[in-house]
Chains A and B, each alone.
Chain A
Amino acid sequence: MDISRRGFLKLSAGSLGAGLVGGLGFDLTQAHARVRELKIAKAKVTKSICPYCSVSCGILAYSLSDGAMNVKDRIIHIEGNPDDPINRGTLCPKGATLRDFVNAPDRLTKPLYRPAGSSEWKEISWDEAIEKFARWVKDTRDRTFVHKDRAGRIVNRCDSIIWAVGSPLGNEEGWLMVKIGIALGLSARETQATI
């Protein structure tokens, strides 16, 4: 076989090209296990209670922050608390989506007040709200308090107010709420935590 100089150059270029193509086509680099990072690995865990129903499931809220003064915690994930005897780590669909509930842009974080006859809600401070609330409770109770029923028995009750308290209350808070309810003479007392 007689190969000229030109032919030799062509053969060299051809082998180089074939080598490059072969190298691209048959990648022999060792593959290794690749795993997504656990997103709650560096998160701070806060125990809390689901606010929805009377079962009061325990939850773990994972937030990203070191707690410094100038930052605000951001909740990145919420799941059930396995140490809670009520749900032992499980959550219903509403509880499982609590993160979106906490971070919802239209979530109420301040008391709103709509005066009678107005169509606009306006923000008021907590002090103002509590004062208004106390005033209405006192006025309503004074107006509708029943000392004696029709048969003349002393009953000392107020039937025009219903007293319902939320599920995340503990024993002591529940006791306090019942005490206040009895002191006001309310017979329609209910708490979500009665199950």
Chain B
Amino acid sequence: MSTLTTGGTVGLGVRRLSATKEPDTSIKSYPELAILVDISACIGCKACEAACQQWHDLTPPIMTPEEVVRRKIAGYQSHPDLRPDLFMLMRFNEVETSKGFAWLITKYQCMHCREPGCLIACPAPGAVIQYQNGVVDFDHSKCIGCKMCLVGCPFDVPRYDTNNKPWKCNFCIDRVEAGLEPACVKTCPTNCLTFGLKEDMVEKGKKIVEGLKKRGYENATLYDPPGVNGTGYIYVLPHGDHVKDYNLPENPSVDASIGLWKGPLKTIGSIALWGALIGAFLQLILWGPIKVLGGKEEKREEG
């Protein structure tokens, strides 16, 4: 247990809200939470996927063998892609590496970036919430269904239901608040998933990577991308030179155009919009409507 973090604070505080100024006025220090995914220990049993569906009461349709053939996906995967009613998916890939043939497994879900692209891109106030422990969650009552969160997401995660509301992994925030671990972590039979303070998880991950390197996996890395200021799910990748083949982006970052669009451009745009409106009002009130030469005089009451 690290001595740096005061891990004693329980409960949730809000760190950031979408399209809102810094909402938190708490003086408490909250622990950062993370899940370590040790891919070298994963056997691809998909118990995490099953537990996720059980906890969130999700019933995605079962893929028939005919559909598997038609979509040309590897038969190990339960579904071809994430769905609004499927928050996490085990992805499988078969590649030739420097160590010979390898079967790459990835747990694919929202990564809970500490610098969340969805939150930065979201225009609806309070629709995307980042809690003090780093978990990113959606508030569907405030969502306007504009799909900007998918544009902002570097990991291509949110999926939309028929009302255009996004759904994704919420780190089992209800369980975490009650002091339980997320459902996927609890069920993992091979100790591949571990849950705890972020710095402990990073430390443990580094130890596993060192062990892997001693065993001959020279390219083993800890995947905690700095482009999004670290993530809530950190991965130990035994084949670190094949990040793309793990279906993970190599250097994910929030698109700079979104920052521009949400920052200076938004201010300039609102100034221009309100300036035009107020100008039109003033023009109408002080000087009246423009009279077209030779035309009929317009009714002044409709101003």
Q: A92 vs B173: C-alpha distance in the bound complex, in angstroms?
A: 23
Interface presence of B303 (CB below 8 A): yes
Q: How large is the interface on B (under 10, 10 to 19, 20 to 34, 35 or more residues)?
A: 35 or more
Q: Chain A residues near B54 (CB, 8 Å)? A: 77-79, 96-97, 99-100
Interface residues of A in 23-45 (CB under 8 A from B): 27, 30-39, 41
Interface presence of A87 (CB below 8 A): yes
Interface presence of B285 (CB below 8 A): yes
Known A-B contacts A31-B23, A31-B126, A79-B183; the reply to A93 vs B50 at CB < 8 A is: yes
Q: A18 vs B45: C-alpha distance in the bound complex, in angstroms?
A: 59
Closest B residue by C-beta to A27: B125
Asked if A31 and B173 make an inter-chain contact with CB atoms under 8 angstroms apart, the answer reads no
Interface presence of A90 (CB below 8 A): yes
Asked if A92 and B129 make an inter-chain contact with CB atoms under 8 angstroms apart, the answer reads no
Shortest distance between the CB of A75 and any CB in chain B (Å): 11
Q: A90 vs B187: C-alpha distance in the bound complex, in angstroms?
A: 4
Measured CB to CB, the residues of A under 8 A from B are 1, 6-7, 10-11, 14, 18, 27, 30-39, 41, 77-80, 87, 89-97, 99-100
Measured CB to CB, the residues of B under 8 A from A are 11-14, 17, 20, 23, 45-47, 49-51, 53-55, 125-126, 129, 131, 139, 170, 173-175, 177-178, 180, 183, 186-189, 277-278, 281, 284-286, 300, 303
15 A-B residue pairs with CB within 8 Å: A6-B300, A10-B284, A10-B285, A14-B281, A18-B278, A33-B13, A33-B129, A36-B174, A38-B177, A39-B174, A91-B187, A92-B45, A96-B47, A99-B54, A100-B54
List the 3 closest A-B pairs by CB distance, nearest first: A93-B50, A96-B50, A96-B51
